[in-house]
Amino acid sequence: MADRDEILAYASELLDLDAYPDYGPMGLQVAGTREVKRLACGVSSSLELFERTAAAGAQMLLVHHGLLWDRDPRVIDDASRRRLKTLFDAEITLAAYHLALDAHPELGNNALLARELGIDPSEQFAGIGFGGPLAEPVSVEDFTARVRDKLGSEPVVFAYGPERVERAAVITGGAARHLVDAAGAGYDLFLTGEPAEPSMHTARELGIHFVAAGHYATERIGIQALTERLAERFDLEWEFIDLPNPV
C-alpha cells in the first residue's frame, strides 16, 4: 500500500512536470482515496476507461489525455457527470501526464517509440520530440513495415523523401504541424500520430517522408512505462487498460 500524494509527488518530480506548460492541469485532476494498492493506466479519459478501472480494483488511474482541458466548457453536463460519478463512487484518483511525458528522455512516448523503431533519440526536436540516426539505413517501405509490426496499426504514408532513410524524427500524437520543422532540420522522415490535410503536399514539396501511425497507437508506450516505474518504486500492482482507437 502507498500514499496517493507521495505517488503524485514522485511522478511530478520524475517528469519535471512544472517545466512543461500544458493545455490543462497536469498531475492530479480528481482526488480519490489516500490509500493506493493498485494502479491502472490508459491513454485517454473516457467513461469506459473509468468503469474498467473500477472493475479492476485500482485506486489510481494514470492517463496521457486527462479529463480537464482549458479549451473545454466549465459546465458539468450529463456526460461529464457520469464520468465524475464513476470516479467518485469508486474513490479513484485520476492523474494526467501529457507534454511532460511526451518529452521525457527515458519514459516518454517520443524517445521510447524512436528506440522501438531503430532510431537513436540523441537529438531533441521541436521541444518535446526526439530524432537521430537509424542504426542502419532502410527504405521507407521497410521502415513502414517496422511501424506496422511494432504498433499494430496501418500507417498513412506520404513517401516523398530519399531512397534510404538515414535520419528520422518522432513526435507522437497530433504533431503534423512539425513536418516543416523536420524537413528544415534535415531529417529524411517524420513520424507522428495523425496527418493534417496539408501533409501530403508539404511532404512532396519538401522532399521528406511523412508517416502517421495513429494518435492512440503512438501514445500507448509512455503511460505504461511511467506506471510501471511508479509500481516498482512503491511496490504496487498495475495494469494497462487497452481501449483501441483507430484514430
Q: Report the pLDDT value the prediction gives residue 146, as an integer from 0 to 100.
A: 97
**Mean pLDDT confidence for 125-136:** 97
Mean residue pLDDT of the chain comes to 98
Q: Report the pLDDT value the prediction gives residue 84, as an integer from 0 to 100.
A: 98
204-226 per-position pLDDT tens digit: 999 999 999 999 999 999 999 99
**Mean pLDDT confidence for 23-51:** 98
Q: Report the pLDDT value the prediction gives residue 156, as an integer from 0 to 100.
A: 98
**Mean pLDDT confidence for 189-205:** 98
H or E segment to which residue 3 belongs = strand 2-3
Computed on alpha carbons and rounded to an integer, the radius of gyration of the chain in Å comes to 19
H or E segment to which residue 35 belongs = strand 35-36
Q: Report the pLDDT value the prediction gives residue 23, as an integer from 0 to 100.
A: 96
Q: Report the pLDDT value the prediction gives residue 245, as an integer from 0 to 100.
A: 96
pTM: 0.96
**Mean pLDDT confidence for 114-132:** 97
Q: Report the pLDDT value the prediction gives residue 53, as an integer from 0 to 100.
A: 98
| 130 Cβ contact list (under 8 Å, min separation 6) | 105, 108, 110, 111, 114, 119, 121, 122, 123, 124, 169, 170
Q: Report the pLDDT value the prediction gives residue 100, as an integer from 0 to 100.
A: 98
Three-class DSSP category at 22: coil
| 52 Cβ contact list (under 8 Å, min separation 6) | 40, 241, 243
| Distance (Å, whole) CA 55 – CA 88 | 14
72-113 per-position pLDDT tens digit: 999 999 999 999 999 999 999 999 999 999 999 999 999 999
**Mean pLDDT confidence for 44-61:** 98
The proportion of the chain whose per-residue pLDDT surpasses 90, expressed as a percent, equals 100
User: What 3 state SS string does 181-241 have?
Assistant: HHHHCCCCEEEECCCCCCHHHHHHHHCCEEEECCHHHHCCHHHHHHHHHHHHHHCCEEEEC
| Distance (Å, whole) CA 11 – CA 28 | 10
Side-chain-side CA neighbours of residue 217 (13 Å): 21
**Mean pLDDT confidence for 179-205:** 98
- The residue assigned the cell 532540420 is 185
Crossing angle for the helix pair 221-234 and 109-116, to the nearest 10 degrees: 110
- 188: region left, alpha or beta (phi > 0 left; psi from -120 to 50 alpha): alpha
Q: Is 207 exposed, middle or buried (0-12, 13-18, 19+ CB in 10 A)?
A: exposed
**Mean pLDDT confidence for 19-37:** 97
**Mean pLDDT confidence for 184-205:** 98
Q: Is 111 exposed, middle or buried (0-12, 13-18, 19+ CB in 10 A)?
A: buried
C-beta separation of 210 from 143 below 8 A = no
| Distance (Å, whole) CA 137 – CA 164 | 6
The C-alpha cell that represents 44 in the structure block: 485517454
158-175 per-position pLDDT tens digit: 999 999 999 999 999 999
